[in-house]
Amino acid sequence: MDKKEFGNLGEKVAAFYLEKKGYTIIQRNFCIRGGEIDIIASKDGVIAFVEVKTRTPDYMTSGFDSITLKKRRLIVKTAEMYSFKNPHNLQPRFDVVQIILDNRKVIGFNYIENAFDASDIMTIM
């Protein structure tokens, strides 16, 4: 399985989890120049912009550690552009999920709601 297929499998697992929790998946892989949001979902007046990090058991860094300030800025900028192109009255939230896969089997799953916010991030669309 190549890197893209591996990441897509992790995103499918995350989307399945969200749907089981009652979320509606609005869009997957929303892209703008320089940024992408893996999953956009809504539930109870919240729009969740979800970053999915899929890893193997022997990966050197956790998915959470890979979300640097630069990456957070890109996610926030992309979420702003999504909201500009698709106006809504939902409260934005930035979530992160780390999925550990071994031979296509989920052996680890950790979902963090409100993993970060935009309070320390200034963007200009």
Residue 121 lies in a domain: no
- Provide the 10 A C-beta neighbour count for residue 28: 18
Six-digit token pair at 100?
């550990």
Q: Which residues contact 34 (CB under 8 A, 6 or more apart)?
A: 74, 77
Q: What is the CATH number of the domain that holds 42?
A: 3.40.1350.10
Domain that holds residue 40: 3-116
**Integer Cα distance of 67 and 107 in angstroms:** 21
Residue 32 lies in a domain: yes
Residue 14 lies in a domain: yes
Over residues 60-116, the pLDDT tens digits come to 677 777 888 899 999 999 999 999 999 999 999 999 999 999 988 988 999 999 999
Q: How many domains does the structure of the chain reveal? A: 1
Q: What is the mean pLDDT of the chain?
A: 91
**Integer Cα distance of 96 and 114 in angstroms:** 8
Helix (H, G, I), strand (E, B) or coil at 96: strand
Q: pTM (2 decimals)?
A: 0.91
Query: Which pLDDT value is given to residue 122?
Result: 60
Residue 125 lies in a domain: no
Per DSSP, 103 falls in state: T
Residue 123 lies in a domain: no
Residue 77 lies in a domain: yes
Over residues 31-44, the pLDDT tens digits come to 999 899 999 999 99
Residue 30 lies in a domain: yes
Residue 34 lies in a domain: yes
